[in-house]
Amino acid sequence: MSEDTKATKDTKDAEKMEKIVSLCKRRGFIFQSAEIYGGLNGCWDYGPLGTELKRNLKDYWWRKHVRERDDVVGLDGSILTHQEALKASGHVGGFSDPMVDCRTCKSRFRADQVCDHKCPEKPSKNPEENGCDLTEPRDFNLMFETKMGASAGEGATAYLRPETAQSIFVQFKNVCDQTGERVKMPFGIAQIGKAFRNEITTGNFIFRTREFEIMEIEFFVKPGEDEEWHKRWLDDCMSWYTDLGVSPDRLRVREHEGKELAHYAKATYDIEYQFPWGWGEIQGVANRTDFDLKAHSKASGTTLDYFDQEANERVVPYVIEPAAGVDRGLMAFLVDAYTEEEVATSSDKTETRVLLKFHPDLAPVKVAVLPLSRNEKLAPLAAEVYNMVRKSGAVNGFVQFDDAQSIGRRYRRQDEIGTPLCVTVDFDSLDDNAVTIRDRDTMNQVRVPIADLSAELAKGLSR
Ligand code: GAP
């Protein structure tokens, strides 16, 4: 690619990202945390539509990975974590990134990413290009430490969890004892929840934040079967994204090499998405071996192993860990769904239609009910249709009623927030007891009897 072509592409990518961030704020998906106080760095709040989108994403993941499988059960562990657990896992001693300070502008950078940052004093250059006076790298622990209860001694120290995995390992014995016969190895324990990392530098919108959510599974297998299961999980995880409509050509798998490999891992693959600024990890799939169970057994004095009835022996399972970021996944779905297309408004005019082509299972609003106007003759039937759609099991999600502004503007608004189907109640509906269903992607409209509406919506949402 020539320098000019690359510069144009970079500008377009930056513009696309700006448009998405602006849409997210304008339409109530994502807001800067504590914006009215100047913002809390690395933290974001999800607005009404962002909350629905995130909930749909997590529900879909839980449905596919727990409810529709026989070999995975759930856990909801505490966020505050015992310091001994995080000492045993290696986080207290080693969960750190190398950091450098600039003696000139007093900024702080990740030592391994200095070239990716802009010098605050000269944003056209990175700190090295600008000849910044940087300190030697030193380790910075990423965990948020806190004190529990009224006493402030060493014993009162706890941490906000940096990953959800550790409570799964710590509760391994309890889960095995309680689920007993029902779950046999290989089996997994899944968890969705918040994690906290005091990242040295945050950025790229919700990509690198200090508070985020993880959806992960610790999948326990017999040693020796770990490599086969690792491949299976990697394939399953890739399909999860493509089944939800992510373009396969914007996904890739990257294997961790040498120093990048975590202390507990035998092998790790990252699933990366091509964001407007480049490839970024959205999910890791690691082979954690028996490291964690052995470490917690040793530190706690409680044996964490599994009695394999077939082989009549106790084994410490190996662990395959698919760990996906909720916020990064959500951002990949947002970027992938963002579409601009030219549509004709008259014989010689066009306008740009912006739409989010979300998979219907993810769409924050599944169906919008739109009376043609606010005319009082239409109101009772429109309310009746809205209540019917809302309560219909066929829709299974958020239904919105909107009667403000022209119908054309309302269609564009629903396109922009990714609503797959709009139902329009018009004056003919009063006579023919039928309504119009409009499809977001094709803009096709079909007339259906109100009596068939639930079934038609279910059909339209099941792509
Ligand atoms: N238990 C393994 C684990 O936590 P990880 O790769 O460190 O693995 C899992 O994190 C996922 O969490 C990543 O693939 C990424 O999607 C997301 N993630 C990690 N750090 C993040 C951050 N600072 N901001 C947002 N998401 C993050």
pLDDT per position as a tens digit, 364-378: 999 999 999 999 999
pLDDT tens-place string over residues 8-56: 777 788 899 999 999 999 999 999 999 999 999 999 999 999 999 999 9
In contact, 392 and 457? CB cutoff 8 Å: yes
pLDDT score at 70 = 93
Half-sphere exposure of 35 (CA within 13 A, CB side): 8
Whether 215 has a pLDDT exceeding 90, the answer reads: yes
pLDDT tens-place string over residues 346-360: 888 999 999 999 999
Count how many residues are written for the chain: 463
Tell which one of 328, 330, 333 to mutate to probe ligand 1, the residue whose CB is within 8 A of the most ligand atoms. 328
| Structure token pair of residue 327 | 């916020």
Residue 304: count of CB within 10 angstroms of its CB: 21
Residue 302: count of CB within 10 angstroms of its CB: 11
DSSP string, 400-442: EE--SS-HHHHHHHHHHHT-SEEEEE-HHHHHH-EEEEEETTT
Q: DSSP code of 118?
A: P
Whether 98 has a pLDDT exceeding 90, the answer reads: no
Tell which one of 214, 216, 321 to mutate to probe ligand 1, the residue whose CB is within 8 A of the most ligand atoms. 214
pLDDT score at 180 = 65
pLDDT score at 181 = 60
> Which of 60-74, 84-98, 141-155, 281-295 bottoms out in mean pLDDT, i.e. has the lowest?
141-155
> CA-to-CA distance for 293 and 184, rounded, in angstroms?
17
| Structure token pair of residue 124 | 């056209």
> CA-to-CA distance for 402 and 361, rounded, in angstroms?
21
Whether 461 has a pLDDT exceeding 90, the answer reads: yes
pLDDT score at 118 = 77
Q: How far is the CA of 345 from the centre of ligand 1 (A)?
A: 45
Q: How confident is the model at residue 146 (pLDDT cuts 50, 70, 90)?
A: very high
Q: How far is the CA of 284 from the centre of ligand 1 (A)?
A: 8
Q: How far is the CA of 20 from the centre of ligand 1 (A)?
A: 22
Q: Please report the atom of ligand 1 found closest to the CA of residue 282.
A: 16
From atom 25 of ligand 1, which residue's Cα is the shortest distance away?
208
pLDDT tens-place string over residues 217-237: 999 999 999 999 999 999 999
Q: How far is the CA of 268 from the centre of ligand 1 (A)?
A: 13
Tell which one of 212, 271, 333 to mutate to probe ligand 1, the residue whose CB is within 8 A of the most ligand atoms. 212
Query: Mean per-residue pLDDT for 163-178?
Result: 95
> CA-to-CA distance for 282 and 274, rounded, in angstroms?
10
Q: Please report the atom of ligand 1 found closest to the CA of residue 325.
A: 16
pLDDT score at 249 = 97
Name every residue whose Cβ is closer than 8 Å to that of residue 205 and which is 6 or more positions away in sequence: 17, 20, 21, 24, 30, 44, 331
Q: Please report the atom of ligand 1 found closest to the CA of residue 207.
A: 25
Q: How far is the CA of 324 from the centre of ligand 1 (A)?
A: 7
Q: How confident is the model at residue 455 (pLDDT cuts 50, 70, 90)?
A: very high
> CA-to-CA distance for 219 and 315, rounded, in angstroms?
15
Q: How far is the CA of 214 from the centre of ligand 1 (A)?
A: 7
Query: Mean per-residue pLDDT for 136-141?
Result: 88
For 256, list phi and psi in degrees, rounded to 5: -70, 140
From atom 11 of ligand 1, which residue's Cα is the shortest distance away?
325
DSSP string, 357-388: ---TTT-S-SEEEEESS--TTTHHHHHHHHHH
Q: Please report the atom of ligand 1 found closest to the CA of residue 208.
A: 24
Q: How far is the CA of 207 from the centre of ligand 1 (A)?
A: 10
> Which of 100-104, 174-178, 267-271, 323-327 bottoms out in mean pLDDT, i.e. has the lowest?
100-104
The candidate with the shortest Cα–Cα distance to 284, out of 319, 310, 322, is 322
Q: How confident is the model at residue 109 (pLDDT cuts 50, 70, 90)?
A: confident
Residue bearing tokens 């961030």: 21
> CA-to-CA distance for 147 and 178, rounded, in angstroms?
32
From atom 20 of ligand 1, which residue's Cα is the shortest distance away?
208
| Structure token pair of residue 274 | 């091509």
> Which of 99-103, 215-219, 435-439, 450-454 bottoms out in mean pLDDT, i.e. has the lowest?
99-103
Q: Please report the atom of ligand 1 found closest to the CA of residue 286.
A: 2
Query: Mean per-residue pLDDT for 285-308?
Result: 97
Task: Write out the H or E segment, with its range, that includes residue 344.
Answer: strand 338-346
What is the residue-averaged pLDDT of the chain?
93
Residue bearing tokens 């922009």: 416
Q: How far is the CA of 132 from the centre of ligand 1 (A)?
A: 30
From atom 22 of ligand 1, which residue's Cα is the shortest distance away?
208
The candidate with the shortest Cα–Cα distance to 251, out of 277, 281, 276, 231, is 281
Q: How far is the CA of 162 from the centre of ligand 1 (A)?
A: 9
pLDDT score at 113 = 81
Name every residue whose Cβ is closer than 8 Å to that of residue 142 and which is 6 or more positions away in sequence: 95, 96, 97, 162, 197, 198, 199, 200
Residues with CB under 6 A from ligand 1: 163, 165, 197, 199, 208-209, 212, 214, 216, 281-284, 321, 323-325, 327-328
Q: Please report the atom of ligand 1 found closest to the CA of residue 164.
A: 1
Q: Please report the atom of ligand 1 found closest to the CA of residue 323.
A: 9
